[in-house]
């Protein structure tokens, strides 16, 4: 184990951070955080989570030309359903959306909270004006599901994060023929003891295809005497079989540093649900700061992939 040479941060923070706060929202919310991101119709779309004053969450929408200055829609994009099965499982709020574009359709996975626990809902849209709920795609005690934006031999793949006391908070890969029925699950990576991600890991942004593998940004949690610290790391999954890991960076790529990451609704948190690729090998990464505001930064995809390959920690 040796120290790395001193170098500039791998993710360059946007000088205008935080890029979105509750002051930018035209309806009453307490926070703006943990947003899913995608490109649509030449613009960047952000679906962000907000806490209401009852402590439960809804999802708003914002759009941007450059990926840094966002205009917020006048109304929330998704609020807990009041109809049928979805109403029963979303009564405590909808949280942390991820967006995956596949075959021209935008799939949104979100955490659905209720008195029955937390599970994942799947919704879809083609225009970001209307949204249709498809199915609840996990049982309880699942959060952080990202769908790969490609099929593998006709099957969809996702990373998910079940919990078990024996194997706490690990990342798994599951498969589906139709986005509704999922199975064939295998564990792909686990927290590493006495490492920055030792307490919990979870999928973050929708995976990005690179020539060398799928780049997956994930969050890792470390418990301290001052509570948990949430940081971001990167893993590279095989292009043809994303259940196989090629490498995971031993070092985190982002940690809470700015004042709005260090203090807020939950202190010491950077938490990503989305990133978008540029044409020139760059990637814009988005994260919630302290569960309170939205932040953005830029990195080179190649640098992130190198980090997964050059200084890897084992998947288990």
Shortest approach of ligand BMA to residue 312 CB, angstroms? 26
Looking at 77, 106, 175, 230, which residue binds ligand BMA (CB under 6 A)? 230
Spatial CB neighbours of 253, under 8 Å, sequence gap ≥ 6 = 10, 11, 217, 232, 233, 234, 299, 304, 307
User: Are 269 and 287 in contact, with CB atoms under 8 Å apart?
Assistant: no
Shortest approach of ligand BMA to residue 218 CB, angstroms? 13
Q: Is 280 left (phi over 0), alpha (psi -120 to 50) or beta?
A: alpha
Shortest approach of ligand BMA to residue 6 CB, angstroms? 29
CA 231 to the chain's CA centroid: 12
Looking at 255, 269, 305, 308, which residue binds ligand BMA (CB under 6 A)? 269
> In this complex, which beta carbon is closest to ligand BMA, that of residue 79 or of residue 266?
266
* DSSP assigned state of 259: H
Stretch that binds ligand BMA, among 21-29, 235-243, 265-273, 304-312 (CB under 6 A): 265-273
Looking at 76, 266, 311, 315, which residue binds ligand BMA (CB under 6 A)? 266
User: With CB under 6 A, what is the number of residues at the site for ligand BMA?
Assistant: 9
Looking at 59, 77, 96, 98, which residue binds ligand BMA (CB under 6 A)? 96
37-47: burial string, b at 16+ Cβ within 10 Å, e else:
bbeeeebbbbb
Looking at 17, 31, 34, 292, which residue binds ligand BMA (CB under 6 A)? 34
Between the alpha carbon of residue 211 and those of residues 147, 204, 302, the distances in Å are 19, 20, 10
User: Are 273 and 204 in contact, with CB atoms under 8 Å apart?
Assistant: yes
Residue where the block lists tokens 């979805």: 86
Q: Is 88 helix (H, G, I), strand (E, B) or coil?
A: helix
Contacts to ligand BMA from residues 281-310, by CB under 6 A: 288, 291
Q: Residue 271 interacts with ligand BMA (CB under 6 A)?
A: yes
Element (H or E) spanning 301, and its range?
helix 301-310
> In this complex, which beta carbon is closest to ligand BMA, that of residue 38 or of residue 199?
199
Contacts to ligand BMA from residues 56-95, by CB under 6 A: 95
Q: Residue 32 interacts with ligand BMA (CB under 6 A)?
A: no
Stretch that binds ligand BMA, among 14-22, 39-47, 244-252, 264-272 (CB under 6 A): 264-272
Q: Residue 48 interacts with ligand BMA (CB under 6 A)?
A: no
Q: Is 23 helix (H, G, I), strand (E, B) or coil?
A: helix
Residues that bind ligand BMA (CB under 6 A): 34, 95-96, 230, 266, 269, 271, 288, 291
């Amino acid at each position: 184990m040796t120290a790395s040479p001193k170098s500039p941060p791998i993710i360059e923070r946007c000088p205008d951070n935080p890029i979105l706060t509750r002051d930018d929202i035209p309806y009453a919310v307490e926070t703006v955080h943990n947003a899913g991101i995608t490109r649509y119709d030449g613009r960047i779309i952000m679906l962000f989570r907000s806490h209401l004053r009852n402590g439960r969450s809804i999802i708003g929408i914002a759009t941007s030309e450059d990926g840094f200055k966002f205009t917020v829609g006048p109304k929330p994009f998704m609020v807990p359903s009041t109809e049928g099965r979805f109403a029963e499982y979303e009564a405590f709020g909808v949280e942390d959306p991820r967006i995956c574009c596949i075959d021209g359709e935008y799939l949104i996975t979100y955490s659905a909270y209720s008195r029955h626990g937390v599970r994942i809902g799947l919704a879809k849209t083609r225009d970001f004006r209307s949204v249709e709920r498809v199915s609840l795609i996990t049982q309880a005690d699942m959060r952080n599901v990202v769908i790969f934006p490609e099929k593998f031999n006709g099957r969809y793949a996702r990373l998910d994060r079940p919990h078990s006391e024996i194997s706490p908070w690990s990342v798994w890969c599951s498969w589906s023929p139709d986005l509704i029925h999922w199975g064939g699950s295998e564990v792909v990576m686990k927290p590493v003891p006495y490492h920055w991600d030792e307490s919990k890991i979870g999928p973050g942004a929708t995976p990005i295809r690179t020539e060398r593998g799928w780049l997956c940004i994930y969050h890792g949690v470390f418990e301290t005497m001052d509570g948990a610290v949430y940081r971001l790391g990167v893993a590279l999954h095989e292009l043809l079989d994303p259940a196989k890991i090629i490498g995971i960076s031993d070092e985190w790529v982002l940690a809470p540093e700015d004042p709005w990451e260090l203090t807020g609704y939950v202190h010491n948190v950077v938490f990503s649900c989305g990133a978008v690729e540029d044409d020139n090998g760059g990637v814009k990464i988005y994260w919630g700061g302290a569960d309170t505001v939205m932040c953005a930064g830029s990195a080179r995809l190649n640098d992130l992939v190198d980090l997964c390959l050059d200084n890897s920690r084992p998947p288990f």
